[in-house]
Chain A
Amino acid sequence: METLLLFGSMVIFAVLGVPLVFAILASSVITLMVMRPEMPMVLVTQMFMNGMDQFLLLAIGFFFLAGELMNRGGITRRIIDFASALVGHFKGGLAQVNVVSSLFFSGISGSAVADTAAVGSVMIPSMKRKGYSAGFAAAITQCSSVVGPIIPPSIPIIVYAVLAEQSVGAMFLAGIIHGILIGLCLMTAVAIIARRRDFESSARVPMADVVRTGAQAFVALLTPIIIVGGILGGVMTATEAGAMACLYAFVTGAFYFRELDLRGFYEALVQAAKGTAMILVIVGASTLFAWIVADLRLSQAVGEAIFTVSENPLIFLLLVNLFVLVIGLFLDPLAALVILVPLLLPNAIEMGISPVHFGIFIVFNLMIGLTTPPVGYLIYLSAHIAEERPERVMRESLPFVAALFVALLLLTYVPLLTTFLPDLFA
């Protein structure tokens, strides 16, 4: 009854178009009033504020700002130039460039939505000009952007690290190999489709051009090294690394590339502030929701239900895969993280699953939800950039979503992919 009230009312409010933060708050307040009428309503404000007020979460604002500064400082174009020089001569060259650009861009921005906007605004018009359908261009852009929150820096991984009390440095390292693997799965899917549809390919670029464009993009590719290196070296906390990434992005854009002007700087500040606020209020609202989940002992109920089916960790991961994929269809990934991690992580640890592996696994699972209806923001954003109907983008996305599922299966059943680097640097 309480589960239905809490989750059901949230889905109803969300479907009615109430912004997600208010849908989560409203369902929590209703559940509190019905199930815990003795609780004072001041708890709502207290939990909301406590959820937002954690030092590690400050890093989210910094990573947002660093990404905005890099993007406005002319780095996106240079990354795409380098990707073109590397893989533009493959069959379906521009689609491959799209995937590789997303891989590189994920080292700057920690958000899939930011990746779609930045890479999509350049790549989708270029692909359309070269004869690719708008739906296909949008589909590969949105699916390749999923890698953004897997390769460091990553906003969802910071939220997971806070919830699971894990080292941000270890979590960031854990995403690197898997992020590259996702890229390879998508590139394979592009290669198969390119062969079937006889897509274009450009002439191979001379090695001198590869080196020249690589040198330009290198400045951007240093960002994740500065961040992860700073954290692992014990020089900075994740939050401070985020602040230093902002300084680096500002100096690069304003003084090295000289493309970041005062107006761009102001717009970057405003967009970063809004993006941060959008995420943090969801985290605040979800903290109250998660508290109710714990108070109503839903975590134990889920645990008992899972243990009834099987005590095998592999079956557990398969069940969690299905459960999280379904949740991810209807819920924003960050809200889902705040709600699901306290629900599932204790059971995962009890089964001997590494919390680092579980973190990357659950984040990637939820990111796939961004590419599928009805919540899939990436579909609507990429469709908007491509000026195409979302249904077409969804249809063209199917082979790429299949590639993402292959990557998910590998991630689920080969934990070494995520634990190798953290163990190496431990």
Chain B
Amino acid sequence: MAALILFNKALRRAIDGAAALLILMVTVLGILQVISRYGLNSSLVWSEELIRLLYVWLVLIAAATAQHMRIALVENLLSTGWLMALKVMQTFIMLALLALLVHGAIQLDGAFGQDRYVTLGIGKTWYWTGAIVGGLLWAGSILSSLAAGFAERRGEA
């Protein structure tokens, strides 16, 4: 049980670290874009494509541990048994939709992954892989939190 809780913490810490690194890279590139244009008189032609690619990875990875907006009014009115049933239903809906998103990303990667970024010269597969990795991490984080929550409750009992 303790291992589950530790794994959940480690996973969240790793996701947060990756998200922090990605937003730092995106910001530094954005600043360099302006400095390069006005300070060095030469534009970084590849920076916009790289920023957009990193941004997609950033959003989908950070989404895995973000506190998403939700209405908790009904939850607050339920008894423990009903609340557990509702949590399971919410988890099932979220996982089903993430599976749909990841499945779609795999299909789109198959269809368009060979297209290339004009200035970066790399394949669009990097873009769709971001959706696949982000979706899987998000699903993993939901399951890991649920398991750690159960483990903590059993530990308390």
- Give chain A's interface residues, CB within 8 Å of chain B: 13-22, 25-26, 29, 41-46, 48-49, 52-53, 55, 58, 61-62, 65, 235-236, 239-240, 242-244, 246-247, 266, 269-270, 272-278, 280-282, 332, 374-375, 377
Contact = CB atoms under 8 A, between A and B. Distances in A.
17 contacts: A15-B74, A16-B90, A19-B69, A41-B100, A49-B108, A53-B55, A58-B30, A58-B52, A243-B33, A273-B16, A274-B62, A274-B66, A274-B67, A276-B62, A281-B60, A282-B69, A374-B71
A273 B30 contact: no
A18 B70 contact: yes
B34 A240 contact: yes
B133 interface: no
B101 A48 contact: yes
A269 to B, nearest CB: 4
Nearest to B130: A49
B74 A19 contact: no
A304 B141 CA distance: 46
B152 to A, nearest CB: 20
Query: Interface on chain B toward A: helix, strand, loop, or mixed SS?
Result: helix
Contacts of B115: none
A22 B59 contact: no
B120 interface: no
Nearest to A58: B55
A246 B34 contact: no
Interface of B: 16, 19-20, 22-24, 26-27, 30-31, 33-34, 38, 48, 51-52, 55-56, 58-63, 65-75, 86, 89-90, 93-94, 97, 100-101, 103-105, 107-108, 127, 131
Contacts of B58: 61, 273, 276-277
Contacts of A244: 30-31, 34
B106 to A, nearest CB: 9
A244 B37 CA distance: 13
A360 to B, nearest CB: 23
B108 A19 contact: no
A53 B108 contact: no
B84 to A, nearest CB: 13
B104 A274 contact: no
A341 B51 CA distance: 27
B65 A274 contact: yes
Contacts of B108: 42, 45-46, 49
Given A41-B100, A273-B22, A280 B70 contact: no
A205 to B, nearest CB: 38
B56 A246 contact: no
Given A15-B71, A16-B74, A42-B108, A278 B34 contact: no
B34 A55 contact: no
Contacts of A332: 69
Contacts of A43: 104
B20 A21 contact: no
Given A17-B86, A272-B23, A278 B69 contact: yes
Given A19-B94, A46-B108, A278-B66, 16 more contacts: A17-B74, A17-B86, A29-B97, A29-B100, A45-B105, A45-B131, A46-B104, A52-B56, A61-B23, A236-B34, A246-B30, A269-B19, A270-B16, A270-B20, A278-B67, A281-B59
B59 A240 contact: no
A239 B38 contact: no
A333 to B, nearest CB: 10
B68 A21 contact: yes
B12 to A, nearest CB: 10
Contacts of A26: 93, 97
Residue among B33, B97, B103 with the highest chain A CB neighbour number at 10 A: B97
Contact of B19 (A19, A273, A374): A273
Contacts of B65: 274
Contacts of A377: 69
Nearest to B13: A270
A211 B19 CA distance: 41
B20 A19 contact: no
B53 to A, nearest CB: 9
Contacts of B86: 16-17
Contact of A58 (B19, B51, B90): B51
Nearest to B53: A53
Contacts of B62: 273-274, 276-277
Given A13-B93, A235-B38, A273 B23 contact: yes
A17 B100 CA distance: 20
A326 B70 CA distance: 18
Given A20-B69, A45-B131, A246 B31 contact: yes
Contact of A374 (B22, B60, B73): B73
Q: Which are the 3 A-B pairs with shortest beta-carbon distances?
A: A45-B104, A243-B30, A277-B62
B19 A270 contact: yes
B56 A49 contact: yes
A42 B104 contact: yes
Contacts of B66: 274-275, 277-278
Contact of B30 (A41, A242, A275): A242
